[in-house]
Amino acid sequence: MTLEELQEGLKQGKKVRIRGYVKPKNRYRLSDELVDVTIDTQIPAYEILKRQSLTEVKSIPLNKVVEISKKHEGTREDAEKALEEVKKSLEKTSSGGRFDDPKYKNLAPYVNLNTETGDIYFTGKKVNEIKLSTSSYKEKNSRPKTLIKNEIKRDLPNTVKTWKVNKDNIDKIEFV
């Protein structure tokens, strides 16, 4: 596939699959993990997603958050603080992102090319992921409030991720 074919497929609204995507090791993933991931880049503007998420969070009853808190050995106070912090984070206005830099060329909405490194960044929702190789993980030692916030935010509309593929590996990208 060429960059032009990639742009054309994205204009048609196709989902992207990256075969053999390497999830690099980080603080908790102790080795690289290989996956096939399918991404939907056809999403509304991020500010719209944030508003939708805020509406969802405001409609979550406190007793549901308290139940989540109990699951993570937290208190009612942890639940209240977590819910309030998630609301505040969604109410903040966001400034431009890293892709506003002139070194990035926009190939399609939510797909950008770093003209200096040749990396293509796909931002969107993960449709599915198939693990090809596993990794070992270090246990996280998060506080209950953090675990509660993570669980609240997990399925919100503004939960998008970014995947990076170098243009030399463009053959790993296909449309589905």
Q: Where are the domains of the chain?
A: 3-175
What is the pLDDT at residue 96? 64
Helix (H) or strand (E) holding 6: helix 3-11
What is the pLDDT at residue 112? 94
- Taking the chain (176 residues) in runs of 10, the rounded mean pLDDT of each run is 90 93 85 92 90 94 94 93 94 77 91 95 93 85 91 89 93 94
Whole-number Å distance between alpha carbons of 52 and 60: 13
Would the CA dihedral through 75, 154, 128, 120 be positive or negative?
Answer: negative
DSSP 93: P
- Position 26, amino acid: N
Strands 111-114 and 119-131 turn out to be: antiparallel
Neighbours of 69 (CB within 10 A): 25
What is the pLDDT at residue 128? 93
Query: Which residue stretches of 39-139 are H helix?
Result: 46-58, 62-71, 76-91
What is the pLDDT at residue 95? 65
Please measure the distance between the N-terminal and C-terminal CA atoms of the chain and give it in whole angstroms.
Answer: 14
Whether residue 135 contacts residue 31, with contact meaning beta carbons closer than 8 Å, is answered with yes
Supply angle C-alpha 42, 18, 110, rounded to 5: 30
